Amino acid sequence: MSDTPQMKFTSLEEIDVIHATLHRSFKAGKLKSIAARKIQILQLAYLIQDNYDAFKAAFTKDLGRPTLETAFMELDATIGDCKIAYDRVEKWARTEKAPFTLNFAASNPVIRKEPKGVVLSISPFNYPVWLSLGPMIGALAAGNCFVLKPSELSPAVSGLIAELVPKYLDSDVVRVVLGGIPEATRLLELPWGHIHYTGSGRVARIVCAAAAKTLSPVSTELGGKSPVVVDPKCDLKTAANRIMWGKCTNAGQTCVSPDYILVQEDAQDAVVQALKEAHDRFYPSGPSIPNGFGRIVNRAHFLRIKGLLDRTAGEIAFGGETNESEKYIAPTIVKGVKGNDSLMSEEIFGPILPIVPVKDVDEAIAFINARDHPLALYVFSQDAAFKAKVFDNTQSGSAIANDTLVHCAVDGLPLGGTGPSGSGYQTRKYTFDLFTHLRSSLDSPGWLDKVFGSRFPPYTARKEATLKSLLGVKLPPRPREVTNGAVKSLVLSDGGWSGKRIVTLFVGLAIVAALTQVGVVGSMWKSVVTLL
């Protein structure tokens, strides 16, 4: 195996063969059993562990990324996600009972967890292991077959994945398609059980339009401009450390990277000073040294980011150095930025952090709400009311207080956007759920028609009355209209169920639930039927 394999693009004819092969495998039930799924998940973990150093070298070639970031943010995180799925897939896939209702308990309503089919995942260059293999873990855990189309912009990592997958995983279950626009276009012409796309909003529109032609379900993770609202009274040293880390990790090429700061104008200089001190602590010898700070993925992205900086009307507080031959842009803070600035025209996706001064938190909230909903929104404050005001009056994929980026690694939290920042949720169980079809199921006994036979024609008033007595709903009292000066509004009525009725209801439900557990509910229904 070479250290950094070159990408050999998949032919369009081979894409058709891959699609047909995996559909045959899915129909044959290759991953029906939990044991088969766990084998593939475990093999995926060993794919990374056995080739740890090769992945580090590939990341260095593609992104110039420090090896600690590669290990912490991608390799160890993905191995950890494999272990979580391996340990929990049996629980995740277990058939669930529907909520108990006396009317339908005898039909045993359940929710079956079933795979969607063959999943296509189109992943980006910026986290080419975690955002490529993470969806693969969830899809395999759910019992799907999987086609990965990794980014051509990270050829060393993508090529390494393509080389290793057939050595560790069943080729009838998982395939990797290498290529650019023609290969992606051919993939999108085919029907899929689910398409998952991570990248830009511009390409997402193309993906969704293509998927609509085959009615393939789609989920997207699109990023956007994630704001940071800074309370001037917060712990500025801690805030600066975490903001700078979130911005500088992977040279700012992170979908949930802090994109701009909103802070009161009279506190702007204090924030700049705190960020400068954090920068100097992080890079005592400067950020340009090898293995100290990442590089921009390619020349086109370098020129795009540099162009945003060149056109800004803001003031560069520190940083600003660039080197095209090395695709290097220094961590840069730009202050005094206005809403119509070049740095606010698109997601920066680089190590430049503009500061937008505002009058107060209300103006910060209005500024955020005037733009697309971001994938993440960060607030730094020790004031609970301040945090609540920002979170309660904005929309974003995530709402994070006093840290950046780390929410993606928290077990039990979903990662997902809203509106233009994406649709659907991923990470660990949420990825399993994303690629799982919830299939409703029940099994009604014949004798139940003695109870619900009134549903059948010919229809009569008596049958309608019978069904209403069985299934009719008694609503709570209507909301009351109240007047406060010239303002009229509706409030909930005080009336409702008395404490005695609630206690009686719960006792009755407890008895029925207990009877259900011991299999008595069917006999009870039959006894009722004999009395009708």
Helical spans, DSSP H, in 284-415: 299-310, 361-369, 384-392
- Kindly name the residue from 221, 248, 347, 408 that is annotated as catalytic: 221
Backbone angles phi, psi at 530, to 5 degrees: -65, -20
Backbone angles phi, psi at 417, to 5 degrees: -95, -175
Q: How far is CA 516 from CA 23, 446, 508, 520, in A?
A: 41, 18, 12, 6
Query: Is residue 413 within 8 Å of 427, Cβ to Cβ?
Result: yes
Nearest to 200 by CA among 303, 347, 308: 347
Query: Is residue 529 within 8 Å of 447, Cβ to Cβ?
Result: yes
Answer yes or no: 221 catalytic.
yes
Three-class secondary structure assignment of 390-405? HHHCCCCCEEEECCCC
Q: How far is CA 86 from CA 90, 93, 223, 367, in A?
A: 8, 12, 29, 44
Q: Is 265 helix (H, G, I), strand (E, B) or coil?
A: helix
- Kindly name the residue from 74, 255, 347, 408 that is annotated as catalytic: 255
Dist. CA 357–CA 371, nearest whole Å: 16
Q: Is 490 helix (H, G, I), strand (E, B) or coil?
A: strand
- Give, in degrees to the nearest 5, the angle at Cα 307 between 306 and 311: 120
Q: Looking at the annotation, which residues are catalytic?
A: 221, 255
